[in-house]
Amino acid sequence: MIVGGGPAGMVLGLLLARDGVDVVVLEKHDDFFRDFRGDTVHPSTLRLLGELGLAEAFLQLPHQEVERLGVTTDEGEFTLADFRRLPGPFRFLTFVPQWDFLSFLADRASRSPHFRLLTGAEAVGLLRQDGRVTGVRYATADGGTGEVSATVTVAADGRDSRLRAEAGLTVREFGAPMDVLWFRLPKGAGTTAPPFGGVGRLTRGRLLVLIDRGEYWQSAYLVRKGTVDDVRAAGLDAFRADLLRLLPGMEEPVAALRSWDDVKVLSVQLDRLSRWHLPGLLLIGDAAHAMSPIGGVGVNLAVQDAAAAARLLAPWLRRGRVPSRVLARVHRRRVLPTVLTQRVQRAIQQRFVDRLLAGDRPVATPAVLRLLQRWPVLQGLPARVIGLGVLPEHVRPAPLHGLRERAGAGRLT
């Protein structure tokens, strides 16, 4: 039983079904179309899809391939990461709306007789017996209720995980100095586009990130934690003026922001569980470790968690019994990449983002950007950290029982 149809939940469901394990994924929404979802599919995820034989089909989806990530400061343009320096066939980052990525995974998983997706069903509590989690209770939008019993329940229901709260597991909070204002800027005719497919624009007291979604720029404007109300109180005209200081020549796209309804707020969290499991229960992805948006690595870590969990759990699930020591093995496997990545994010937040957003002194171009510009070969290092991460996972060749597809498959159930 997997609770949550995000990247961690859908990848785990696909991999377990492929390995012959009967799996149910419970998703509280009726579909995957929601904002505040990471759009990046990293080279390590593309490699997993390639090992599954799905990379070619995935790359048929509308997407943007980005070979470099860059930062524009008041002193010019600087390349931060060059993915062309990575090993393997996938030397680029893809930007795909996450609802398309999840729909693709659901379609492929639903071709297995072992996979079932329940949408519009929200997990509201854990089932327990003799000190062990044995499944979940769920509620539907029309007032219905139900239960699903399972050998193992996996909570992949995000940073506000309801199951994590009910399990009573200890959360270590690290805090974050910023929140994010999230909005779209259309690609107006005659406007000057930023130079990279994914770009950061920084100046004194301001930091803006643009993600190329083809017809528009998905935009993330960082503000100091707790100051969103102050930004709104200053008025939309002042906000648009701030954007134009960062994006000269983009008057038409910025003018498309007509009300605060066009601007959403993402509260940034950075935390992780001290323990990711109880008897019969495992937590992965954001439910186990909420990541900062720095580097856009949250989706990558969630997918890698799912790959490791599938590899370690599948043999035991086919036997119908999963000892707690096996669940602990997933935690041990994935905690090191999580800790190291969060330490890097915390350092960047404390030493750079916090000082930048304070706005009390001019911001010089960071020395690391100058170093990367002078010695381009070094641009492969951040590309490896962002694109592959720490301890990237692999999948085994598909077993025969994972290759049979049921007739009429391909739609959500």
Residue ranges of domains in the chain = 2-39+53-62+94-174+269-357+388-402, 178-224+226-266
The winner for highest mean pLDDT among 34-43, 187-196, 318-327, 390-399 is 318-327
- Number of Cβ atoms within 10 Å of the Cβ of 380: 18
> Residue 15: how many CA atoms within 13 Å on its side-chain side?
30
Q: Which residue has the higher pLDDT, 188 or 279?
A: 279
The region, left, alpha or beta by phi > 0 then psi within -120 to 50, assigned to residue 323 is beta
Rounded CA-CA distance 277/297 in Å is 23
Task: Record the tokens describing residue 287, joined without a space.
Answer: 């439910």
pLDDT score at 37: 65
User: What's the whole-number average pLDDT of the chain?
Assistant: 87
What integer pLDDT is reported at residue 32 of this predicted model?
83
User: Residue 352: its pLDDT value, please?
Assistant: 84
Confidence of residue 114 (pLDDT cuts 50, 70, 90): very high
Q: Per residue in 218-231, pLDDT tens?
A: 888 999 998 999 99
For residue 36, the model assigns a pLDDT of 55
**What does the block give as tokens for 131?**
């000190």
As beta bridge partners, residue 180 has 222, 266
Residue 76 in 3-state DSSP? strand
pLDDT for residue 373 is more than 90: no
Specify the pLDDT at position 408.
36
> Mean pLDDT, to the nearest integer, of 245-250?
82
Amino acid at 169: L
Whole-structure pTM value: 0.89
Q: Are 204 and 240 in contact (CB under 8 A)?
A: no
Using alpha carbons only, give the angle 179, 185, 188 rounded to the nearest 5 degrees: 160
Residues of the chain with pLDDT > 90: what percent? 59
Q: How many CA atoms lie within 13 Å of 394's alpha carbon, on the beta-carbon side?
A: 3
User: E strands within 191-350?
Assistant: 198-203, 206-212, 216-224, 264-266, 271-273, 277-278, 281-283
Instruction: Give the sign of the dihedral formed by CA 395, CA 400, CA 402, CA 408.
Output: positive
Q: Residue 251's pLDDT is what?
A: 86
Q: What is the pLDDT of residues 130-175, one digit of tens each?
A: 999 999 999 998 889 999 999 999 999 998 899 999 999 999 999 8
Range in 56-60, 190-194, 227-231, 280-284 with the lowest mean pLDDT: 190-194
What's residue 363's pLDDT? 67
Which CATH homologous superfamily contains domain 2-39+53-62+94-174+269-357+388-402?
FAD/NAD(P)-binding domain (3.50.50.60)
